[in-house]
Amino acid sequence: MSDSYLDHVPSQEREKIRRRMRSPEAYEKLRERVKGPEDLEREMEKNDAMAEMHFALESDHQFHEQLKSKVEGELKEKGVENVLEFSTLSPEARKSLESGKFVLRISANPKTHIDQLVAVPEGNVQEKLPVKPALSQQYLSQLRRKE
């Protein structure tokens, strides 16, 4: 009684699936997607650090203000383009960011869907602007040293 889904597929389609599944290219693609123990450990450490930062941002108002002031300084010193990742930026969002009216959060990057530090301008603007990965890593390492 082990009905496989392949039993209900027309024979031509079944043959295509079998050919595709046993091709060396398909196997190689599958192997590329599989993560090894080292990759998983690095990913777990990064996720753990992001969770700690998320908790600190939500629970420690002083930490949130310190981090926000650092990001504000970077924005003034280096400019919005060199601190945040974005393709287009509305004038309202730019004005909010430059005047320091934004909130920092940990959220999924709209492009990569990986959690990272984002700046959310205050007001009617509904944009999440991810902080560049290098700066985000720098802030994470400062949090680790602090603890």
Q: What is the pLDDT of residue 1?
A: 44
Q: What is the pLDDT of residue 94?
A: 84
Q: What is the pLDDT of residue 41?
A: 92
CA distance to 42, 44, 45, 52, 139, per residue, from 38 (Å): 6, 10, 11, 21, 23
Task: Kindly state the helix (H) or strand (E) to which residue 83 belongs, with its residue range.
Answer: helix 80-83
Asked whether the beta carbons of 65 and 100 are under 8 A apart, the reply is no
pLDDT per residue rounded down to tens, the chain (147 residues): 456 666 777 888 878 877 777 777 777 877 777 778 888 899 898 889 889 989 989 998 998 999 999 999 988 898 888 888 887 888 888 888 888 888 898 988 777 788 889 888 887 667 788 888 888 888 888 776 666
Count each helix (H run) and each strand (E run) in the chain, helices first.
7, 3
Of 108, 117, 53, the C-alpha closest to 83 is 117
Asked whether the beta carbons of 143 and 52 are under 8 A apart, the reply is yes
| CA pair distance 116, 109, nearest whole angstrom | 6
User: For residue 114, what are its two tokens?
Assistant: 């990986």
Q: What is the pLDDT of residue 59?
A: 92
| CA pair distance 63, 72, nearest whole angstrom | 14
Task: Kindly state the helix (H) or strand (E) to which residue 123 belongs, with its residue range.
Answer: none
Q: What is the pLDDT of residue 20?
A: 72
Q: What is the pLDDT of residue 147?
A: 60
